Structure 1
Amino acid sequence: MNVKKFTAPTSREALRKVREALGPDAVILSNRQADGVVEILALANDDAASLAMPPGDSPMAAPAPRLELPAAQDFAAELEPALAARASSLLSAATAAFGAATPAIATAAPAAAAPRPQPRPQAPAATAARPAAPQRSAPRAPANAAPPAPAAPTLDMDRISALVADAVASAKANAAAEMSGMMNEIRAMRGMMETQLAELSWGATQQREPQKTAVLREMLAAGFSATLARYLIDKLPAGRDGAASLQWIKTVLARNISAMANEQALIEQGGVFALVGPTGVGKTTSTAKLAARCVMRHGPEKLALITTDAYRIGAHEQLRIYGKILGVMVHSVKDEADLRIALKELKNKHTVLIDTVGVSQRDQMVTEQVAMLQGVDANVKRLLCLNATATQETLSEVVRAYQGSGLAGCIMTKLDEAASLGNVLDVLIRQKLNLFYVSNGQRVPEDLHLADPAQLVERAFRREAASRQVAEADLPLLMAAAGGDTLAREVHLG
């Protein structure tokens, strides 16, 4: 075996020496760096071919022993888990292996590639000149010889592919989970930074523009939301003192409350109106007040009353008593079919008022009630009764639950029991509800009035709310949690 060693400062120079000495088909045996030089051991292609073919009398030339079938099966069963583990290990290390390839290996790759199979060298001429020995026929196996053992079972490549696919899917799932967790952490950090920056900004605003801080405290004390208050404070014109700024805020609030200027839309035009809302908001009393106004304007023969409240004890009797006083017949219905029949019989009436059953805004019956009123042939206009004593979150839930395809308007009830009106006015502005009437008592029909937006806003800022003032130290944190961008389409400043 003629193995030669080549040394050079670089791999490129060493490979050049190998090609010049042994030819382009030389076989590279080793490639290493020693003492600042590259050392390559190479072998000629002919010498490598002679090494690959052992002589006939060598033990390496003997055929490999064949495994018996039981031993082969055991070997395959033991090999499959090992192959699966090896495939998963190779898959996880593939990216690192490709990235770790060095420039020297990349340069030596063409020369170090596996040589193509070469034809077997021919025998010397002297050997070829000898007369060929007579061929002997292969001995025939005896009749009673044992049959050859079956070949060992091949590995299931489909199963190996499935194991590799499972490993890839598991790696993707783990990567997706890690990415999701990282994104959640980034969002949390962003929210924390925005909150801290907003606190610093409002802290600076308190020192730079104290009149804005005073107006802000007044709005929060009146019951308006921090989001609406922040939006209006940001739009507050510069150069105004505290009183002028507060007056500008009141004007903007009153302008954004949509109210019925006269009773033309309800009493004169007539139609079918259904009063809806949660339990105890005053739907039956408000129905009686509206019925009295209609009777005084058009007479009892032009009015009809319908009740769908068959759940509460005495609910039908309460409206029947009001109808008896007014001289109006009260009709009771149970479902959509009854309501459709009743409305068809009362189509000659100028005004039809429907008193519905009170249902919590979180009850599934709200959806059924809205579907019943929208499913009849007549155009039923729904008026939502809003309790002025409820919190802003509760009122928002009520509006969302009873919204359906759209509300004709609302009636503000229990005005005399409310400590502040900012909560209900805030919801009216946000939801763009048309305010028809305000109710401030139980008297029929005296305690029902047309809504005056300016008067309602003025009452919301009365000094009864002074005890609900927010501390100045809490304003930055409260304002940082409120976003006012969504109100740009809802509040008109002009």
Structure 2
Amino acid sequence: MNIRRFFGKNAREALAQVKQALGDDAIIVANRSVNGGTEIMAMLETDIASNASSAPTDMGTDQSRSLLDFVNAQGQPTRQAAPQAAMSAPGVQNNTPVAEEPAANEGAIMDMLKLHSEQQEQAYQVATQTLEDKMMGMMQEMRQMRSHFETQMSAMTWQHHLQHSPAKSKVLSTLLSANFSASLSRQIAEKMPQHIDVNKAPMWAKEVISRNLHTLDDEDALLDRGGIYALVGPTGVGKTTTTAKLAARYVMKHGTQNLGLITTDSYRIGGYEQLRIYGKILGVMVHAVKDEEDLKIALNELKNKHMILVDTVGVSQRDQAVTEQLSMLSRADSPIQKLLCLNATSTGDTLTDVMRSYKKHDIAGCIVTKLDEAAAIGNVLDVLIRERMRLFYTTSGQRVPEDIEVADKPALIERVLTPHQASLPYQYLDEELPLVISSMMQTAGQEQQHV
């Protein structure tokens, strides 16, 4: 586009220059007052003819008026006023020349130019927004098409692999039915050697899981070493009962004199009272703390104890209080090892969310609770393997101290890979596996973990 600038002492003079240079069909692009007069930017209508077909057609016919239209509109009130003045005084003959009113005319012209410029700007904004909306819609459709295409291609690839490797198909079906994630199941299947027979595939999978599931090697070494342990985790996971069970195991081995109990659960009704009752049964005093200063005082009073167990208030993994509580534990004068309690009945995505929220604060290990209530435990073992977290204990009931034991790796793996009646509706057919794997991998964002 060839836009030209014209300068005059006033708007009338500048318009005259536009008309002389570009003719009556010139298009006013913009105008402004400058030092010494008025500046007008204009262009020929033919310069934008090539772009007319791409402009919106529903913006009205008054968006780009020519110079002739502008001048005619400006002159029309003056031409109409003259006859009316003559008719109002027919008997009076006035030969005196009528003086021009340049200030008034110039003000009207400036108003018209301003309106014209605003209309041009509005038309440009509407056209730009329309184009952006169309582009956003096209990009969204392209993303959907790409996702669908990738899913289909992934399904075809997996179908090819599984048709040529019944052992991989067997492992995938077994792990998915046991509530392992698609990500971990796929990685285990991909690492399976080609020579593995389909009947030996489940045993090979057990060995891989056993090699990657880390558990407590020696409980006696932990109890003999002592230290300060805080049980953390979401509400309702069973931290208070588990604290009492651990306390009972320690008392059975070392007595009550060297054990200290602390609770930060001052929010839940009966939170302190529950642990106090367990402490009374064991013969151990329970210290209740409300803030960081109280915690430091309690730890100082118990500094001569061989082992101190801290029961914390339950906090949702998405609550800012997680950071506040764990930071309070980290700022204590004595080092506190944090044990994360995981509910075996929770879904895999919930457990992953919990793990990643708490793991940022130096978790030493995990305790899996409520194994007796879980129909399948692949979800919790899957999270422990993917997040490389050590499993210390498992609990399976409310009895103290009977329903807690050191994590038994062989028993857990045997249980997770043994089919049971409740899992039958969730088992996949061989022909369903390719699409299931590809869809779940798309949802999971294809996480990469090393097995």
Q: Normalization by structure 1: what TM-score?
A: 0.65
Q: Deviations over 1:346-378 (max 9, x none)?
A: 233222211112234345544443343334443
Structure-2 separation of matches of 1:97 and 1:416: 74
How many Å apart are 1:409 and its aligned residue? 1.1
How many Å apart are 1:339 and its aligned residue? 2.0
Q: Determine the structure 2 residue equivalent to 1:193.
A: 149
How many Å apart are 1:283 and its aligned residue? 1.1
How many Å apart are 1:287 and its aligned residue? 0.7
Structure-1 separation of matches of 2:42 and 2:326: 61
Structure-1 separation of matches of 2:53 and 2:315: 67
Q: Determine the structure 1 residue equivalent to 2:101.
A: 150
Equivalent residue letter for 1:256: N
Q: Determine the structure 1 residue equivalent to 2:302.
A: 346
Structure-2 separation of matches of 1:347 and 1:171: 74
Query: Is contact 2:343–2:368 with CA below 8 Å preserved after alignment?
Result: yes
Matched, 1:471 2:422: no
Task: Summarize the Cα distance change of 1:435–1:87 in structure 2 as closer, same or farther, 3 Å threshold.
Answer: farther
Task: Summarize the Cα distance change of 1:372–1:166 in structure 2 as closer, same or farther, 3 Å threshold.
Answer: farther
Structure-2 separation of matches of 1:197 and 1:265: 52
Structure-2 separation of matches of 1:91 and 1:368: 69
> What is the number of equivalent residue pairs in this alignment?
368
Query: Is contact 2:296–2:333 with CA below 8 Å preserved after alignment?
Result: yes
Matched, 1:180 2:136: yes
Matched, 1:491 2:450: yes
Matched, 1:482 2:433: no
Structure-2 separation of matches of 1:368 and 1:88: 65
Q: Determine the structure 1 residue equivalent to 2:84.
A: none
Q: Deviations over 1:46-90 (max 9, x none)?
A: xxxxxxxxxxxxxxxxxxxxx9xxxxxxxxxxx9xx957998996
How many Å apart are 1:441 and its aligned residue? 3.1
Larger displacement relative to structure 2 (159-168 or 175-184): 159-168
Task: Summarize the Cα distance change of 1:163–1:442 in structure 2 as closer, same or farther, 3 Å threshold.
Answer: same
Query: Is contact 2:170–2:201 with CA below 8 Å preserved after alignment?
Result: no
Q: Deviations over 1:226-282 (max 9, x none)?
A: 222122222221121113222222211121112221136742333322111223322
Classify the secondary structure of the residue corresponding to 1:408: strand
How many Å apart are 1:94 and its aligned residue? 6.7
Q: Determine the structure 2 residue equivalent to 1:446.
A: 402
Larger displacement relative to structure 2 (87-96 or 341-350): 87-96
Structure-1 separation of matches of 2:118 and 2:334: 64
Question: Which runs of 5 or more residues in structure 2 are unaligned?
Answer: 1-11, 13-23, 31-40, 55-95
* Structure 1 residues 357-368: aligned runs within 5 Å: 357-368=313-324
Query: Is contact 2:275–2:286 with CA below 8 Å preserved after alignment?
Result: yes
Equivalent residue letter for 1:285: T
Query: Is contact 2:370–2:396 with CA below 8 Å preserved after alignment?
Result: yes
Select 1:275's aligned residue among 193, 206, 231: 231
Query: Is contact 2:29–2:117 with CA below 8 Å preserved after alignment?
Result: no
Larger displacement relative to structure 2 (301-310 or 368-377): 368-377
Q: Determine the structure 1 residue equivalent to 2:172.
A: 216
Task: Summarize the Cα distance change of 1:486–1:262 in structure 2 as closer, same or farther, 3 Å threshold.
Answer: farther
Task: Summarize the Cα distance change of 1:474–1:376 in structure 2 as closer, same or farther, 3 Å threshold.
Answer: same
Task: Summarize the Cα distance change of 1:343–1:166 in structure 2 as closer, same or farther, 3 Å threshold.
Answer: farther
Question: Aligned Cα RMSD in Å?
Answer: 3.5
Q: Determine the structure 2 residue equivalent to 1:130.
A: none
Q: Determine the structure 1 residue equivalent to 2:201.
A: 245
Q: Deviations over 1:324-360 (max 9, x none)?
A: 2322110112233322322233233222211112234
Select 1:330's aligned residue among 275, 286, 303: 286
Task: Summarize the Cα distance change of 1:174–1:266 in structure 2 as closer, same or farther, 3 Å threshold.
Answer: farther
Q: Determine the structure 2 residue equivalent to 1:383.
A: 339
Select 1:315's aligned residue among 271, 278, 294: 271
Structure-2 separation of matches of 1:241 and 1:476: 20
Q: Deviations over 1:384-412 (max 9, x none)?
A: 11111222122223223433423121101
Select 1:288's aligned residue among 226, 241, 244: 244
Larger displacement relative to structure 2 (414-423 or 151-160): 151-160
* Structure 1 residues 5-404: aligned runs within 5 Å: 83=28, 93=48, 96=51, 148-151=99-102, 152-153=105-106, 155=110, 164=120, 167-263=123-219, 266-404=222-360
Equivalent residue letter for 2:450: V
Q: Deviations over 1:264-309 (max 9, x none)?
A: 6742333322111223322112111221233344432222101122
Query: Is contact 2:261–2:310 with CA below 8 Å preserved after alignment?
Result: yes
Task: Summarize the Cα distance change of 1:88–1:231 in structure 2 as closer, same or farther, 3 Å threshold.
Answer: farther
Matched, 1:422 2:378: yes
Classify the secondary structure of the residue corresponding to 2:290: coil
Classify the secondary structure of the residue corresponding to 2:383: helix
Task: Summarize the Cα distance change of 1:95–1:378 in structure 2 as closer, same or farther, 3 Å threshold.
Answer: farther
Equivalent residue letter for 1:480: S
Q: Deviations over 1:191-243 (max 9, x none)?
A: 11112222333333343222222221111111111222122222221121113
Q: Normalization by structure 2: what TM-score?
A: 0.71
Query: Is contact 1:84–1:163 with CA below 8 Å preserved after alignment?
Result: no
Task: Summarize the Cα distance change of 1:463–1:159 in structure 2 as closer, same or farther, 3 Å threshold.
Answer: same
Classify the secondary structure of the residue corresponding to 1:218: helix
Task: Summarize the Cα distance change of 1:376–1:94 in structure 2 as closer, same or farther, 3 Å threshold.
Answer: farther
Task: Summarize the Cα distance change of 1:486–1:260 in structure 2 as closer, same or farther, 3 Å threshold.
Answer: farther
Equivalent residue letter for 1:347: K
Q: Determine the structure 2 residue equivalent to 1:141.
A: none
Question: Which runs of 5 or more residues in structure 1 are unaligned?
Answer: 1-66, 68-78, 100-144
Larger Rg: 1
Query: Is contact 1:383–1:411 with CA below 8 Å preserved after alignment?
Result: yes
Classify the secondary structure of the residue corresponding to 2:440: coil
Task: Summarize the Cα distance change of 1:311–1:90 in structure 2 as closer, same or farther, 3 Å threshold.
Answer: farther
Task: Summarize the Cα distance change of 1:304–1:88 in structure 2 as closer, same or farther, 3 Å threshold.
Answer: farther
